[in-house]
Chain A
Amino acid sequence: MLELINVWKSYEDLQVLKGISFKVLEREVKVIFGPSGSGKSTLLRCINMLNPPDKGEIFLRGINLNKPETNLNAIRSRIGMVFQHFNLFAHLKAIDNVSIGLRRVKGLSKEEARIKALETLNRVKMTKWADHYPAQLSGGQQQRVGIARALAMEPDVILFDEPTSALDPELIGDVLQVMLDIAKSGTTMIVVTHELGFARAVASEMIFLGEGTILERGTPQHFFTSPKSERVKKFLEQLDILYGGHEKLLELSNGEENK
């Protein structure tokens, strides 16, 4: 349904993406992970053409996004995006944040938009806070509204750009729960994240992006039982330590002492 063919992108002199190609089928959940600076955010912004790629092509349901005559605004209304720093519209209440896209882009009437927005807020369990402003919500709550905002547009695919990286640990759970729910209900998702627990639960395929290329790809089982490249192994180890794998940490410090 969504296809990337040989996408290249550079910033100034730096080649950030070097020939990325993959396909995403309907109802798939793709998880992209890897070290920072490997171009993951850039990749997402290429997909919805906020930052068009230098070379390569992107197809959404057969429509070539790189052709000048494509109506990018219409395309973007079919690709949802959830941001690391939420980017909620600060001057609008939660419910208006969700409904503004419906009203201004999809042309729904005020009433219809409001009903749909409430429905979507319900899905992310934020109905109680519909009339609150973003500044009155916690990070996790804001992100859930952000997800609702993207969801309400009924897009073909939703892109998640490290949705939980800016959240306090206690708040991550709620957001991941919502993401799990919508994944299970069949939404096509491309998620850039470090939350491998999430990946293990719902990912159809995981892609490891390093230095601008796809270093390895496969099912979650593949990665967690027998990753092929050393790079990936090392990365997974580091993540393990980060998320509380004490044994590994002790091993390392013991090793240092014995030197």
Chain B
Amino acid sequence: MIFQARPNPIEEFLVVLGFWDHLLPGFLIMLWLYGLALVMGFFLGLILAILRQYGGRIFSRVATVYIEIVRGTPLVAQLLLLFYLPTSLNIPITAWKLEVSLTLLDKDMTITLLNQATLTGIITLGLNSAAYQAEYFRGAILSVGDGQIIAAQSLGMSRFSGIYHIVLPQTLRRVIPSWSNEAAYLPKYTVVVYFIGVKELFREAYYIITNPYISANPLTVYIVIAIIFLIMISLITKGLDILHKRTGIPGL
């Protein structure tokens, strides 16, 4: 019944693929956001987890508060908060941007690497991811056990040295299964920035649908986007799985 109005799904599919010159930049932007947010979340999250475990009463509390608040509030609220923060503080936003152009198969594409919206998006996603990654790291640090750092200290290592040389390597290896979870599913959350105008994959889809000169079935477009995400996530999961098996140390 639903498919009645679409006599030829394959044709529709091809029409959508015809817009690859819009989809590709969107996809690349999504990768860009994902990559930066993941890296930012990794380092910040690791620092937060270490502070939470070894930081002493004050820093430990601060880290915990940050993690609980970021994890307890919706991504949308965080994004809009950071995006409209300059407006609230009466700081004017200049329209600056950092662009990259490339031409492929006779189609010109410009990719905006950075502008106000994109930067806000990256920072929000990074700060958000950091809180979730911090929880994974915390679990891994706890599973290392405190016997390790006691042994390190008994040799005369400073606390810092013990954390850096003994606990950290083990934590990083132990965290791979749960961290892969976050790493694989983070691309999904990059979609949220479409709302503030970043031209990532979903926004491009929106453009295709709302363009008055093109007739494309909205459902097909969304399904194509969904499939792209599915493929990407499966690839990342598989890749991290292989990495996990390759870097195995007996006993970790």
A187 proximal to B (CB < 8 A): no
Type the 1/0 row for A57-101, where 1 means its CB is closer than 8 Å to any CB of B: 000000000000000011111111101010111110000000011
Interface check B165, CB cutoff 8 A: yes
Nearest-neighbour CB distance to chain A for B175, whole angstroms, equals 13
A134 to B148, CA, bound (A): 13
Taken residue by residue from 155 to 177, chain B's Cβ proximity to chain A (1 for < 8 Å, 0 otherwise) reads as: 11110010001100110010000
Distance in Å from the Cβ of A224 to the closest Cβ of chain B? 32
**Which single residue of chain B is at the shortest CB-CB distance from A45?**
B150
Distance of A131 from chain B, by nearest CB (Å): 12
Which residues of the partner chain A approach B249 to less than 8 Å between Cβ atoms?
Answer: 90-91, 133, 135
Q: How many residues of chain B are within 8 Å of chain A by beta carbon?
A: 22
Check if A104 is an interface residue, CB within 8 A of chain B: yes
Instruction: Please tell me if the beta carbons of B157 and A101 are within 8 angstroms of each other in the complex.
Output: yes
The complex places the Cα of A149 from the Cα of B151 at a distance, in Å, of 10
> Does chain A have a CB within 8 A of B90?
no
How many residue pairs link A and B with beta carbons under 8 A? The number is: 77
B155 touches A83 (CB 8 A): no
Q: Which of A48, A76, A87, A91 contacts B173 (CB 8 A)?
A: A91
Minimal beta-carbon separation of A159 from chain B (angstroms): 8
Instruction: Verify if B147 is at the interface (C-beta below 8 Å from A).
Output: yes
Question: When each residue 110-152 of chain B gets 1 if its CB lies under 8 Å from chain A and 0 otherwise, what string results?
Answer: 0000000000000000000000000000000000100110111
Is B87 located at the chain interface by the 8 A CB criterion? no
Q: A87-B148, A90-B251, A133-B251 are contacts. A77–B155 as well, Cβ < 8 Å?
A: yes
Please measure, in the bound complex, the distance between the C-alpha atom of A67 and the C-alpha atom of B170, giving whole angstroms.
34
Q: For B144, what are the chain A residues with a Cβ–Cβ distance below 8 Å?
A: 90
What residue of chain B has the Cβ atom nearest to residue A79's Cβ?
B154
- Quick check: A90 and B155 within 8 Å, CB to CB? no
Q: Is the CB of B151 within 8 A of A76?
A: no
Residue of B at shortest CB range from A105? B156
Which residue on chain A has the smallest CB distance to residue B170? A91
The residues of B with any CB-CB pair to A shorter than 8 Å are 144, 147-148, 150-158, 161, 165-166, 169-170, 173, 249-252
